[in-house]
Amino acid sequence: MQQVLAGKVGLVFGVANKRSIAWAIAKAWAAAGARLIFNYQGERLKENVEELVAEFGEKTPLFPCDVSRDEEIGAFFQNVRTQTDRVDLLLHSIAFAPREALEGDFISTTREAFRIAHEVSAYSLVALAREAAPLMTEGGSIIAMTYYGSEKVVPHYNVMGVAKASLEASARYLAYDLGPKNIRVNCISAGPVQTLAARGISGFTSMLKHYQERAPLKRSCDPAELGAAGVFLASDGAAAITGQVIYVDGGYQIMGM
């Protein structure tokens, strides 16, 4: 791959395992020349992520960060400052909602499930952008992963769809705030991909099948294609693109029927 991100430093949030979308985008960013720093959520995942990132050299930094805790976000960025005084890229590939909220009817969503889903999946983008922006001294690109359930009803996606709507709107407001600093903020709306998070959504397999039947390209997307879209949005090729939701979904989003 052409080294379009040579010399760039990127922060990657959301690698849980090798199927994670964050991992696909991290691999593509690294292949395009970026140097990366990773988070992991809690000791449970540390070893997993450590093993994966060793692929980029043993010294690839990774630090703990549960995005629902302000003190962990603060500590993460202090750790980042020990490694670099400039950051160019940030990937937000994080979402969570209590399992029961993704099974029944949306109307049954509890106050607590609503709060957790929004805090982890949407507010965290604002909190991370606020910490990253002062380090983006030469401009930057922030990318968040989203899904079509933000704009249309996807049965079972429930409160996560509402949280994704909040994430996409947050990306637009952040794009406005950070535009004068030449920091761009965009979302990639991925079609269904088999990952750990996807397994939590009931009826996920039938979602995939639905895309194979209805999407113009007769399929969803594969992780490498999300990686390539991530490189594009991070690169100078996307220098005038901000506040957008880019669909990498086999074209499904254009269909009315």
Question: Among 29, 63, 147, 232, which residue interacts with ligand NAP (rule: CB under 6 A)?
Answer: 147
The least CB distance from residue 200 to ligand NAP, in Å, is: 8
| C-alpha dihedral sign at 24, 232, 12, 152 | negative
| Residue 44, burial from CB neighbour count under 10 angstroms (0-12, 13-18, 19+) | exposed
State yes or no: residue 93 binds ligand NAP (CB under 6 A).
Answer: yes
State yes or no: residue 91 binds ligand NAP (CB under 6 A).
Answer: no
Question: What distance in Å separates the CA atoms of residue 247 and residue 189, rounded to the nearest whole number?
Answer: 5
User: What number of chain residues touch ligand NAP (CB under 6 A)?
Assistant: 26
Own/partner long-range contacts of 103-107 (Cβ < 8 Å, ≥24 apart): 103/156, 103/202, 104/158, 105/158, 106/158, 106/159, 106/162
Question: Among 16, 34, 80, 113, which residue interacts with ligand NAP (rule: CB under 6 A)?
Answer: 16
Contact of 254 with 216, CB cutoff 8 Å: yes
What DSSP element (H or E) covers 62?
strand 62-64
Q: Residues 196-215 vs ligand NAP: string with x where CB under 6 A?
A: xxx-----------------
Q: Which stretch binds ligand NAP (CB under 6 A): 1-9, 50-58, 169-177, 192-200?
A: 192-200
Q: Which is nearer to ligand NAP, 10 or 192 (CB)?
A: 192
Contact of 87 with 61, CB cutoff 8 Å: no
State yes or no: residue 226 binds ligand NAP (CB under 6 A).
Answer: no
Q: Which is nearer to ligand NAP, 33 or 251 (CB)?
A: 251
Summarize as ranges the residues that interact with ligand NAP (CB under 6 A): 14-16, 20-22, 41, 45, 66-68, 93-96, 120, 145-147, 190, 192-193, 195-198
- Catalytic residues, by residue number, are 147, 157
